[in-house]
Every structure is written in structure tokens, then in C-alpha cells.
Chains A and B, each alone.
Chain A
């Protein structure tokens, strides 16, 4: 019994230690401009063709980034050379490794996908006033068509952000 309690205490201690260490690394990473060592911690970013004060004051930005299920940290900085504003976000809770593997991405379950979609929508709304829509597809699909359709459905949440 004592041995069980001891091993449980050690496991709990390790878990708490790892959590504290991850929190410390995320905090340090937020301040650092150095390379991220874990993709799950990476900030996802877009540049918006508008000055930072305009981006910060834009209510639609908060609306898009506060969509259900999104709990985000946000960073707004001026882009160099008159390139507008860099808007960067990342999930408050670091995703688990199996949430961001290839299968999760293909299945549309990677929690970073709605974040990328929200970033792109925010950028488009702020720059153009709308988010471009596509005509719905109708009619039967071939196997190849289904694959292309699935890739297209994931595409707004993928890419180099």
C-alpha cells in the first residue's frame, strides 16, 4: 500500500512538474523571438494591410477570434516597412500530440485548423469587408472528387500560418 501511495505521489509530482515546466516554457516563448521547439506552441500569424491602431480597435476582429471553441492568446505588432500589422494567435491550451498528427489534420480534428480559418477570415474582413464564399457543389461525386472535396474542406485551416 505504501509503495502504491509512493508511486502515485511520484507520478503526480512528475505530472505537476511537467505542467509547470511547459507553462514556464510557453511564457518564456511568448517573450522570446527565438525559434519555437514545438510546433504545438507556435504562434500562427497573418499580416493585415492596416495600421495596428485600426486593427486593435476593430470589433469584428474580437468577434471572429472569439468563435465557439477558440480560446486564444493574441499578439498585435506593427509589421516592418509599412506592411501593416502582424496579428498572431495561439491556443491557450497546448494541443495534445495526437490532436495535431497527420490523421487528425486529415480528419479535420486538429484544433489549429479553426484558428487558421479564423485568422484568415479576420484578415479578409478587415481588409475587404467580407469573406469570399464559394458556390455549393451539387450532384453525384466520383471517388477522386470526394478526395478533392475533402482536401478543399480542410484547406482553409491548413497552410503556412
Chain B
């Protein structure tokens, strides 16, 4: 089959790789109908996530049709149209049973790498380095889905592929930020990063009762999209002082909940950005946390900060004094998708959750390297490139 392979830093190619087969009884094989780029893939492509091997198949956000099931699969059958959670989770360890699915104990066959980085290993992710299991990704014609009964969800008939696709990762990630960030009735919520995940966090905040939602980015077309589809207020950080603007818009209090949906390759203005870029290039810190610093600084006293953007290691000048003295609650997680996907598919079927707009560029798998190039450089208003193998 054809698949998009990582060949080195900023080097992608579409190649022939062996077809996947059932290796465990609880596996299914899914024929991929749509698979999308994700901002977190850029960290792999740019070489900031260790443990990539030349030839690894990328992609973790996808939808398709079940074409084969192992003898231990009970809930799915051949022909089902399914969206698959980007995290592979067993469904029966203590973490899965407590709805902390991305922390699954049994899905990562290479736990020592993540344990060396973070103290303990997390669950595995499709196509996301050997630290996250080393599984083949979804930018391919077929994918093997382990623990399929727990990770693949039937898509309701009324929901089209372009909408349901984002229930795999962007929608549950964003929803989790608003949910575990504690968004409630009447809150003011600020979201850093206006990609698909940031926009989903903003949309989730609105549906969870936030009175005002403010999204922050520098790309006009993304801010316009958030305004048009979510009714969010927008802030272009290159044109204004974000902290001062947020204080002014919130009567001097600051946002109740701040959601960081940017991650380790944050852009910014001023000397802070230059400082972080230099330190990251010299490998003296592994991420550029400018958006995170801003979120902690801007958050109201006693407020909540949720970290959705991906970080892999250590960052510098972390504002621990603001965190402690303002009594903030800071939380972060990779997505616990299985906890949210059924509800999100229902909301999509009811027309209350819009995601289709993120699929700005559709193309075949052979054009995937070009798609990633557009996505990385935000050319032609690209929010997400979607590949149809």
C-alpha cells in the first residue's frame, strides 16, 4: 500500500509499505477514507520530537471503513464507517476506567523511552514517534487499529466524512481543554492558538456556557473563521498588547479560563521570541513557551489555565511565581478522546458542533508532502490539509 513516510527532518515521501495485518485478536484493519494534518505533526517533521525513525508512517487523525476484524473484536463489524481516536487505549486499565484514556498503561510497547522523558510512559498514538509506541500512522491506505472495540466509533449516518474526521483528535482535544479547564456558565475564556484545536476549544467553551470567548492568533483568515463559525471575539497578537487588551475586555479581572492551544513551536513578538528561538535551536530548551507564559500571566487571580499544545521536554523562564501567588490551577493533558467522541458525534449529528470548515484543502495521498508544506507555512489560508488515500 501507499503511505506518507518520515525520512528525516523536513523530508517526507510517499512510498510503498507492507499492508497491515491483524497481529492481536482485538485488532481491526481500517481502510482510510480521510486523514488530516495536525499541528503536532510539525514537531515531528521539524525534528523536535526525539525517537523518529526513517520510514515511520505519519498521521493520527483519521476516519475510514472497517475491512477486517480480529476474533476478539465484538462491537465492530466489517463495513462499519468509523472515526478512530488518535490515542490507542486498552479500555481496562485503571486509567482508562477512570476516563484518563491517553494515560493508558497497556498500549505503549516501548514504555522506557517515554518514561525516560516524563517519569512514566503514556498511552500510544498512531504515527507519533517511538516514544509514543512506534505504531504506523494513518496517512496510508490502511491502518491497523489495536484495541479496536475501544478506539473506533461508528459515525452516525447523517454526519459526513469531513465533519466526523475531526472527532478523531481536534474536536475531543479542544473539548477536553474547555471541560477539564473548568469552563462554566458566565465565564470569560481566552484561547491562544486559532488552529483547529484552538477553535474547537473555543466552540466547546461556548457550548459549555461561557459568556465570552476570545481567541488569539496572528493569521487573519483563522481569526475570521473563528468569528464566523463560533461567534468568538478575536485578537491579533502582532497588532496589540494581548495582556492589556484582555484586562480591558474583562473589566480589569483577566479571563477566568485560559487555554493554551499552541505548543512547543509558539511564535511571538519581541525579544522573548528571539530568546526562545535561540535556546530551542541550541537545544537548551525543548519548547518555545511564549503563549503559555502569556496565558499564565493574563489569567485572573484564582483562575484556571489548561495546556493543550504539545510540549515534549523542558522550557525556560516558566512563570512559577505568577502561578503560585495568583493561586492558579494549571492542568494539561493529551486528549482523552474515548471519553468525548460519542458525545461529539451526537453534537455533530444535531448540527451543534461545526468542524467541516477546518478541511480547507483536500487532496490525494500522493500530494501529502505538498499538503504538509502548505499547512506548515499556512499558505493559501490552509487550516488543515485532508488526504483521501
* Residues in A lying within 8 Å of B, measured CB to CB: 47, 49, 83-84, 120, 123-124, 127-135, 137-139, 141-142, 144-145, 148-149, 151-152, 154-160
Contact = CB atoms under 8 A, between A and B. Distances in A.
7 contacts: A47-B94, A130-B24, A134-B109, A138-B17, A141-B53, A148-B51, A152-B51
Nearest to B16: A139
Contact of A148 (B94, B121, B124, B130): B130
B92 interface: yes
Interface string B107-123: 10111111110011100
A84 to B, nearest CB: 6
Contact of B115 (A124, A134, A148, A160): A160
B18 A127 contact: no
B248 interface: no
Contact of A127 (B92, B112, B133, B135): B92
B94 A151 contact: no
A49 B111 contact: no
Given A49-B94, A135-B23, A155-B112, A123 B53 contact: no
Contacts of A134: 23, 109, 133-135
A132 B24 contact: yes
Contacts of A157: 112
B54 A152 contact: no
Contacts of A135: 18, 20-21, 23, 135-136, 144
A144 B130 CA distance: 13
A7 B369 CA distance: 74
Interface string B83-117: 00000101111100100000001110111111110
Interface of B: 8, 17-18, 20-21, 23-26, 51-55, 72, 88, 90-94, 97, 105-107, 109-116, 119-121, 124, 130, 133-136, 144, 146-147
Nearest to A146: B53
A112 to B, nearest CB: 12
Given A123-B106, A135-B21, 7 more contacts: A49-B92, A127-B90, A135-B20, A152-B110, A154-B112, A158-B115, A160-B115
B93 A127 contact: yes
A157 B111 CA distance: 8
A157 B109 CA distance: 10
Nearest to A49: B94
Given A123-B105, A127-B90, A137 B112 contact: no
Given A133-B23, A135-B136, A151 B54 contact: no
Contacts of A149: 53
Given A133-B24, A145-B55, A160-B119, A152 B113 contact: yes
A128 B54 contact: no
B169 to A, nearest CB: 20
Nearest to B18: A138
Contacts of B90: 124, 127-128, 132
Smallest CB-CB A-B distances: 10 pairs:
A158-B112, A155-B112, A159-B115, A155-B110, A133-B23, A145-B53, A124-B106, A148-B53, A159-B112, A49-B94
B97 A49 contact: yes
A141 B8 CA distance: 12
Contacts of B147: 128, 132
A141 B5 CA distance: 13
A142 to B, nearest CB: 5
A131 to B, nearest CB: 8
Nearest to B22: A133
Contact of B52 (A132, A141, A148): A148
A131 B97 CA distance: 18
A111 to B, nearest CB: 16
Nearest to B20: A135
Given A127-B90, A148-B53, A151-B51, A132 B146 contact: yes
Contact of A151 (B105, B107, B130): B130
A157 B116 CA distance: 12
Given A132-B106, A139-B55, A159 B130 contact: no
A139 to B, nearest CB: 6
